[in-house]
Amino acid sequence: MGDTGSLALGGFVAGTAYMLQMPLFILIVGFIYLIEVLSVIIQVTYFKKTGGKRIFRMAPIHHHFELGGWSETKVVAVFSITTAILCMIALLAL
């Protein structure tokens, strides 16, 4: 999925959670997206504060795993399974 599709999907999920007044729902369902964004923020901040040192091999974090030897398919599978499990937890909490 490209940027356009993922942004549209994320906007839909966030909008739905907002309209249903369920802010915790969006945090649970969007955990992977949150980790992706936070990994970039952490990497850039740490890089600037330490004069060029890095926490991750590369940011966003899915590239860190790819450089660690994971195939793209494995990264997608693990992230998808994690998201599916978190979605089930969020739906059970309704």
H helix intervals, the chain = 3-19, 23-29, 31-50, 61-67, 72-92
Tell if the pTM clears 0.85, that is, is over it. Answer: no
Per-position pLDDT tens, the chain of length 94: 666 777 787 778 778 888 888 878 888 888 888 898 899 999 999 999 999 999 999 999 999 999 999 999 999 999 999 989 998 988 887 7
Whole-number Å distance between alpha carbons of 1 and 37: 17
CB 91 within 8 A of CB 29: no
Q: Are 59 and 50 in contact (CB under 8 A)?
A: no
Domain boundaries, the chain: 3-92
Sign of the dihedral defined by the CA atoms of residues 12, 91, 25, 83, in that order: negative
